[in-house]
Amino acid sequence: MFAPSSDIFRKYTDGETFAKIRGYGTVAEMWKHCADEYGGRTAVEDNGSVYSYEQLDRDVAAFRGLLAGEGMIGILVENSYDFVKVFLAAATAGRPAVIMPPQLPAEAVLGITAGFGLKALAVSPALSAKTAPAAERIPGIKIVSSADSGEPVPAADVKPGAPCAVMFTGGTTGKSKAAILSNEAVMQGTVNGCYGYRDVFFQRYLLVLPFSHVFGLIRNLMTSLYTGSALFICRDNKNMFRDIAVFRPTVMVMVPALAEMALTLSRKFGRNMLGPDLKYIICGAAAVPPYLIGEYAKECISLFPGYGLTESANLVSGNPECATKPESVGIPYPGQELKLENGELWIRGKNIMTGYAGGIPSFTEDGWFRTGDLARFDEEGFLYITGRIKEIIVLPNGENVSPAEVEAHFSALDCVQDCELYEDTSDNGTRILVLEVLPRMTELGKIPEAERGAYLTGKINEVNATLPGYQRFSRLIIRDADFPRSPSMKILRHARAL
Amino acid sequence: MTRTEIKDKLKEILLMTDADSRLLEGELDESKELIADYGFSSVGMLYTVIGIEEMFGIRFENVGMSDFKTLGDVVDYIEKALR
């Protein structure tokens, strides 16, 4: 069993900064500290307006005035200053908030409202039509506009174990589940975002991820506020580079597909599209190709791959600055215990949810959360994710093949953007491994067109030959178009008929 | 800029995206649909919008790629914006 301490991260920043990274039991406690400590500093920039910590605190107190009562509330607000205000108001009022993705249809809003027994819905003017069925059919439901405010009321006395946020998982397999995160879990996730790099406080974050995803809510919003940083809300990703040119962020939290896009466009147009001040890219929610780390390092930007889950309030581990292990998802953060059971990563600790909503079994008898991810640790305590249990291919000879582990070898090639290994049946009925590859055209394009196919297959076959026999593919498919993907840009793995 | 020149530059952008590369050989077919034929994902759309704005120095004001059905519609928009 591995129970990391924060001391592991001490060497990555100066003593004064490290001493400032302290835990809070609740969001209310953290927010009081932020409002007192950071007062006139910019907290949020959104839609042409700038909001200081003082002003945000006043607006949060005023919105709390609309949240009198008890029970869970739903938040249906797009990425905006109002979302920040509403979320903090709910958290500091002791009202657990179900964070609804803004793209939900009205019927789903009704279903969640009824299913969770929500007492109130905070909705933005732009999304208010989606609450109409709930308003009509659920007696006593209170609908509050995120643009309104009431008489300021003080924060409630919230306990660390009290639920804070309910977040929907969005895995590539299975139905979405709702994870209940306590105040303590949200705060541990928030603080974990401060470890492993030099410049922690008073940064400039630019938000491109949805607040309805833990990576956007906790690592982006909450860590930004915790560190007295300014958060610029990019409302439309098509304006991302324009917003970057104006705001000049120092930190961005991204999925790999966006980081790859920014790199490709930077190379294409001969300038750093992420702006001159960017120091750190926190990258996760999908496997991060080592290629990206190397290419960003050439631009003097540190890209840190990490690992996290909705159920763990986002962050389980992250690569520290000067990481020399790009295949790893980094060092586990403090406040949790980790162990491997038959290769599967099990976690328990402050950052882990209190359970799934709806009574779905969530833990082992002794309180461990089974991640479903296959993992290993190296001798220095770095964590590696080698696959998903559900995706394991059991070959006719009994050998187990983890697709992610094999794919990592091919993804390390510069000319491979993404790939998927799966089992299929050959023409003569034999079960075989198939590798589908999406080429990285920015690299492959450097090769004369007539030679690209041979070059790519040659490189891939070279790697294949280095693998143990049972891990080698028998059929290679080079894709002309991207893989089908989930909203968080993970490959949607298909169950292929055998 | 002629329509052919616009299409040549547009092709450079599409080559960076996840568009079906078989449709990018030879001259671009304006009648092909962005989603049904080229198979653009949301990130592919994003690449294209940003790439067009950078490459042509124009802006998509109050319009997104989802408002365009075919590649010809995109070329029309660029042509008008450049006038």
Q: Residues B19-36: pLDDT tens digits?
A: 666 777 778 889 988 877
pLDDT at A186 over 70: yes
> Measuring CA to CA, which residue among A156, A164, A154, A165 is closest to residue A58?
A154
pLDDT at A299 over 60: yes
Contacts of A171 (CB under 8 A, 6+ apart): none
Chain B residues within 8 A of A263 when measuring between CB atoms: none
> Which is the CATH superfamily of the domain at A22-386?
ANL, N-terminal domain (3.40.50.12780)
pLDDT at residue number A168: 93
Chain A residues within 8 A of B21 when measuring between CB atoms: 441, 480-481
Our CA dihedral for A234, A237, A239, A241, rounded to 10 degrees, sits at 90
Mapping DSSP to helix (H, G, I), strand (E, B) and coil, where does residue B17 land?
Answer: coil
Task: Tell me whether strands A431-439 and A230-233 are parallel, antiparallel or unpaired.
Answer: unpaired
Contact A269 B55 (CB under 8 A): yes
Mean pLDDT of A163-168: 96
* DSSP code of residue A343: T
- Say whether the ipTM exceeds 0.90: no
Closest CA–CA distance from residue A497 to any residue of chain B (Å): 24
* Rounded distance between C-alpha atoms, residue A125 and residue A67, angstroms: 18
Q: How confident is the model at residue A187 (pLDDT cuts 50, 70, 90)?
A: very high
Report residue A478 as tokens: 């080079």
Domain span at B34: 3-82
Q: How far is CA A429 from the centre of its chain?
A: 41
* Rounded distance between C-alpha atoms, residue A271 and residue B74, angstroms: 25
Closest CA–CA distance from residue B83 to any residue of chain A (Å): 23
Judge whether A274 is closer than 8 Å to chain B, CB to CB.
no
Mean pLDDT of A445-463: 92
Which residue in B18, B50, B54 is closest to A482 by CB distance? B18
Which residue in B12, B44, B64 is closest to A482 by CB distance? B44
Judge whether A62 is closer than 8 Å to chain B, CB to CB.
no
Contact A438 B18 (CB under 8 A): yes
Closest CA–CA distance from residue B46 to any residue of chain A (Å): 6
pLDDT at residue number B5: 92
pLDDT at residue number B18: 66
Burial A104-113 (b: 16+ CB within 10 A, else e): beeeebbebb
CATH number assigned to the domain comprising residue B75 = 1.10.1200.10
In A200-259, the residues whose Cβ lies within 8 Å of chain B are: 237-238, 240-241, 257-258
Q: Where in chain A is the domain with CATH 3.30.300.30?
A: 392-478
Give chain A's mean pLDDT.
Answer: 92
Which residue did the predictor score with more confidence, A255 or A32? A32
Judge whether A360 is closer than 8 Å to chain B, CB to CB.
no
Q: Return the CATH number of the domain spanning residue range A392-478.
A: 3.30.300.30
Chain A residues within 8 A of B64 when measuring between CB atoms: 238
Q: Where in chain A is the domain with CATH 3.40.50.12780?
A: 22-386
CA distances (Å), origin A390, targets A173, A252, A387: 8, 32, 9
pLDDT at A173 over 50: no
Mean pLDDT of B62-80: 87
Burial class (CB in 10 A: 0-12, 13-18, 19+), A336: buried
> Measuring CA to CA, which residue among B18, B15, B10 is closest to residue B58?
B10
pLDDT at A174 over 60: no
Q: What angle do CA A74, A239, A149 make, to 5 degrees?
A: 35
Tell me how many domains chain B contains.
1
> Measuring CA to CA, which residue among A225, A242, A252 is closest to residue A42?
A225
E runs forming strands in A49-149: 49-52, 73-76, 97-99, 120-123, 142-145
- The DSSP-derived string for A345-384 is EEEEETTS-SEEGGG---S-TTS-EEEEEEEEE-TT--EE
Chain A residues within 8 A of B41 when measuring between CB atoms: 482, 485
Q: Which of A312-321, A444-453, B34-43 has the lowest mean pLDDT?
A: B34-43
**A327 and A290 in contact (C-beta within 8 Å)?**
yes
* Rounded distance between C-alpha atoms, residue A201 and residue A417, angstroms: 34
Which residue in B20, B39, B46 is closest to A261 by CB distance? B46
Contact B43 A441 (CB under 8 A): no
